[in-house]
Amino acid sequence: MGFPEPGILSNEFKTLLPIGTHPPVLPHNQCQLLASASVEMWHRAIHSFLWSVALTEASPLWASVSGYYASHFVMRAFAHSMGFFKSFTKRAAIQVVMDRSGQFVLSQVDIRGGEHAFYWKVIKKHPDFASNPLFRENSERDEHSDSAHRTFANYTDHVNSFTPIKFPEFKWIAEYIEKISRIRLYSVDKPSRDDYPDLQNVQILAFQRIVAFHDFLDERVPTNRFWRTHRRPDWCRDIMLFQVEEPRLESPSIA
């Protein structure tokens, strides 16, 4: 029930690329690597979100960046769970699909864009998420996108969002997350580049996306042993929540 060694998914798929005229058939253990990678990527999202919260007052700059990566890792988690993977070294995007004989095969995917744009696009194109405001394409050219906000934080000169380093107590982080969990689903907008660091929107969106993946697997594989083992990570059991208030009319606030 543990995770495999680092890099095994990309190394296994690298040997199968580029795909020729006959798509390679994948054995069960290779398909499992995408499943375990999706859960590990979700854990990475949780970890980034917790650090975003912890850095809210100590470093708005890194709270903003790590909050963005929490959302991005959720998109990768969803994509891997649906069989999508983008190889950086081979510059190829693939999806595991089932052929007419019931075998899993590797299929090339023609979705352009870098690693970040790719994973957001494949989720936005999925019929289960196309109309869900939590899931959208992520273009740096759109000033009201998650990516443009992250790019502003990373690369714009004279941001100057520095404060004296003072880390919060564990209790403060737990209470902050509990407040975020009470924000109504779909009640916040896209983070705005002009409103940097816009931590409220960044963190609420990341949290609601993390919960969305949790509920997604709970609904589809409720009895899977691997998921049951890792759906509540031990390292955040006493601080992380996996629930969101249902949509209502109240305005969001974590003040």
Asked if 72 contacts 116 with a C-beta cutoff of 8 angstroms, the reply is: yes
CA distance 207 to 203: 6
pLDDT digits (tens, 9 = 90+) for 130-172: 999 899 888 777 777 888 888 888 888 888 777 888 889 999 9
- Report how far apart, in Å, the C-alpha atoms of 13 and of each of 20, 96, 103, 114 are: 14, 11, 17, 18
Asked if 55 contacts 66 with a C-beta cutoff of 8 angstroms, the reply is: yes
pLDDT in tens, the chain (255 residues): 889 999 899 888 888 877 877 888 888 888 899 999 999 999 999 999 999 999 999 998 999 999 999 999 999 999 999 999 998 888 888 899 888 888 899 888 887 778 888 999 999 998 989 999 899 888 777 777 888 888 888 888 888 777 888 889 999 999 999 999 999 888 888 887 888 888 999 999 999 999 999 999 999 999 999 999 999 999 999 999 999 987 764 445 565
- Report how far apart, in Å, the C-alpha atoms of 168 and of each of 5, 147, 161, 206 are: 33, 27, 18, 20
Domain-by-domain residue ranges, the chain? 8-236
By CB atoms closer than 10 A (0-12, 13-18, 19+), residue 111 is middle
**What is the value of pTM for the model shown?**
0.90
